[in-house]
Amino acid sequence: MASREPSRTLGARLASGPIVVAPGAYDALSARLVEAAGFPAVYATGAGAAYSLLGSPDIGLLSFAEMRDQVARLAAAVSIPVIADGDTGHGNALNVQRTVREFERAGAAAIQLEDQTFPKRCGHLSEKTVVPAAEMVGKVRAAVDARRTPETLIIARTDALAVEGLEPALERLRAYGEAGADVLFLEAPPDVATMRRACAALRRPMLANMVEGGKTPLLSARELEGIGYRMVIFPGAGARVASFALRELYSTIAREGTTAPLTDRMLLFDELNRVVGLPEARERGRKYAGTPARTEDR
């Protein structure tokens, strides 16, 4: 079972520290880069996993097992807390309990659940539908009962703003908080006034979701903290930047027949090997082989 230290760190930071900024990671390498940049947590994005594992949009095609394994890979690659996208919990309340147990076992320090119907879709797409509020309350209670320790945070998201309006969405979040959710998440508020109203109306920590090109205005972490948010995720930014760079790379190879024009915009062989821990891996290998480390590997 994974160490509980990341969960303790995340809970303490959420309670008393500055706003928790958690960029999204779509694979273990991007998670390592999030940690290397000094962030206190990383968000295991479901959309990014769909993009990278399936080459598909975020429309509910990723299975429970695929996402659980993705969370495990990220948690094994970093020592900072991993916030896991649990989508709808992959079914009813009993499925939610299995999702929480398995994601927690995989190393998640926090698990996000949402009240969309299945198959879900990205929260910034149109034509979403939501389950009855009472059903989601039951799912939140099931999640709280299933976790092994209260240090594992349950994040409850509602997509009802686009479906039912602001006041019903806030009533849902109040009920999810009363059911035991540690963090509340109003998806896709269209303006700062709505964001301020939501943070003022609810008494639990609030999460903001920054989606480039989405429905919510892009604000800085400092601005979001001033509004009242305690956590912010940038779930798809890494995948978007990587896709932009890869498109340019492959276009350059097709046009020029070489990667030379872009070598000043990439991590070269030795740099990337340092990021993924090759010197440390060699040191461990020599420890068990009984051979001394070479100076250039240190």
Question: In terms of domains, do 206 and 290 share one?
Answer: no
Q: What is the pLDDT of residues 228-239, one digit of tens each?
A: 999 999 999 999
Question: In terms of domains, do 213 and 282 share one?
Answer: no
Question: In terms of domains, do 132 and 279 share one?
Answer: no
pLDDT of residue 5: 66
Question: In terms of domains, do 65 and 146 share one?
Answer: yes
Residue 113 lies in a domain: yes
Boundary-marking domain end, from 195, 219, 235: 235
Q: What is the pLDDT of residues 229-274, one digit of tens each?
A: 999 999 999 999 999 999 999 999 999 999 999 999 999 999 999 9
Q: What is the pLDDT of residues 16-73, one digit of tens each?
A: 889 999 999 999 999 999 999 999 999 999 999 999 999 999 888 999 999 999 999 9
Residue 282 lies in a domain: yes
DSSP string, 228-261: T-SEEEETTHHHHHHHHHHHHHHHHHHHHSSSGG
Q: How far is CA 124 from CA 64, 88, 189, in A?
A: 21, 16, 10
Residue 187 DSSP one-character state: -
Question: In terms of domains, do 216 and 286 share one?
Answer: no
Handedness of CA 36, 39, 42, 45 (dihedral sign): negative
Q: How many CB atoms lie within 10 A of CB 268?
A: 9
Question: In terms of domains, do 178 and 285 share one?
Answer: no
Q: Are 110 and 147 in contact (CB under 8 A)?
A: no
CATH of the domain at 155: 3.20.20.60
pLDDT of residue 48: 95
Question: In terms of domains, do 219 and 272 share one?
Answer: no
Angle at which helix 166-178 crosses helix 133-146, to 10 degrees, equals: 30
Question: In terms of domains, do 137 and 180 share one?
Answer: yes
Asked if pLDDT for residue 201 goes beyond 60, the answer is yes
Question: In terms of domains, do 151 and 292 share one?
Answer: no
Question: In terms of domains, do 278 and 166 share one?
Answer: no
2: confidence class by pLDDT, cuts 50, 70, 90: very low
Average pLDDT over residues 171-188: 98
pTM of the complete model: 0.92
Handedness of CA 232, 113, 237, 201 (dihedral sign): negative
Question: In terms of domains, do 42 and 114 share one?
Answer: yes
Residue 117 lies in a domain: yes
Instruction: Provide the percentage of residues in the chain whose pLDDT is more than 90.
Output: 85
Tokens of 251: 């276009």
Domain total of the chain = 2
Asked if pLDDT for residue 288 goes beyond 50, the answer is yes
Residue 246 lies in a domain: no
Q: Euclidean distance between the first and final Cα of the chain, in Å?
A: 31
Average pLDDT over residues 280-284: 92
Asked if pLDDT for residue 132 goes beyond 50, the answer is yes
Mean pLDDT of the chain: 93
**Residue 44: strand pairing partners:** 25, 84
Q: How many CB atoms lie within 10 A of CB 157?
A: 27
Residue 48 lies in a domain: yes
Q: How far is CA 142 from CA 26, 100, 136, 173, in A?
A: 28, 9, 10, 16
Question: In terms of domains, do 130 and 273 share one?
Answer: no
Residue 258 lies in a domain: no
Domain that holds residue 121: 5-235
Boundary-marking domain end, from 235, 256, 275: 235
Residue 50 lies in a domain: yes
Residue 252 lies in a domain: no
Q: What is the pLDDT of residues 143-178, one digit of tens each?
A: 999 999 999 999 999 999 999 999 999 999 999 999
Nearest to 108 by CA among 87, 84, 140: 84
